Amino acid sequence: MKLFKRILLGLVILIVLGGTMSFFYFKNKFLSAPPNELSVTNLGQPFDFKWEGYTYNGKHNPYGAMLIPVSIPGVDRTFYMQFDTGTPSTVLKYNPFLSINEKYNNLIKIDTIEGKLRAIEASIKVGTVDVAASSLGFVSMGKKIDWSDSTAVDIIGSIGNDFMEKNPLIIDFKSNKITLLDSLPQKSDVETDYLPITFDGRKIFLSATLNKKPASLWYDSGSSMFELIVEESTFWKLAVPNAKKESFEIPSWGRKVPAHNIESNGEFQFGAVKIPLKTVTYMEWPNKMQAFVLKAANIGGDLGGMTGNKLFLEKTLILDAPNLRYTVKE
């Protein structure tokens, strides 16, 4: 009996320690972000974005990624950056900037800060918006630029939520346009059109309902082609009975991640706008903490999950981060 009690006590201690460590990670890592080093000007003008598709299991999905045209002063070429609300900070790929420096005589100053390579005092034009950054980090190598190929789509990094932290953003999915604004009216004609968001750690959580129950959705435009990503137990709860699971792999920050889709028949409600949930997804994250985050997103009993852009196709999504509100328009 004493041995059993000791084993039981040991298990309780492990569970408590695991829960404490998970809570620490969620509050101090996931819900935190480095300082915003961006300054944005020339606001209020819509600019186009384009879609990059992705093919899996012989099926082509045209909504694999949102790409924004980007230009660099002094460089005669249009580049692209992925619009990724899943990352709190704008980041770059190293090899494209190495190519730029090789061709344009070290136009971009790159230095090491606290052991990490960063682009110093960088200026870029994101669509129509002028962006100045005291420094920007590199997160992957990327591909070197083939200057002889004028038709290439050169992706040089990702635009993160620091871009919209201080300014409202409108995404018109029907017209493929984005607008960054100085501000929005504090009161709309129908104020109930707006719903609350949380923006802790520069992560966007949308409040909505799913099947008439509260839902807290982490909006990650980098997971563009998915309606709802959940952890495995919720995946099966939302699946249509006897539906067949479809499995495939997707690229994620240089890795291949196993993913699974299954048919669902749910319904989201974003204010007055109803959107069907036709497919639900779960992923076998290489980092188990990512799976934990989806569970931790289950704040206050709300369903926790991640949504990309697919739910909002043909709609307009207005994200007013400074005032912690958002709305979906038909």
Could you tell me the domains of the chain? 38-163 (2.40.70), 183-329 (2.40.70.10)
Model pTM?
A: 0.86
In tens, the pLDDT along 178-188 reads 999 999 876 65
Measured between alpha carbons, how far is 7 from 240 in angstroms, rounded to an integer?
41
In tens, the pLDDT along 240-289 reads 999 999 998 887 766 788 999 999 999 999 999 999 999 999 888 766 55
- Among 219, 126, 184, smallest CA distance to 320 is for 184
295: CB partners within 8 A, 6+ apart: 231, 304
Write the DSSP symbol of residue 163.
G
Q: CA separation (Å) from 101 to 94, 181, 198, 204?
A: 11, 32, 39, 35
Measure CA of the first residue to CA of the last residue in the chain; give whole Å: 65
Selected residue with higher pLDDT from 327 and 32: 327
Judge whether 109 and 123 are in contact, CB under 8 Å.
no
SS3 content of the chain, % helix, strand, coil (to 5): 20, 45, 35
Tell me the HSE value of 228 on the side-chain side, using a 13 A CA sphere: 32
In tens, the pLDDT along 151-174 reads 999 999 999 999 999 999 999 999
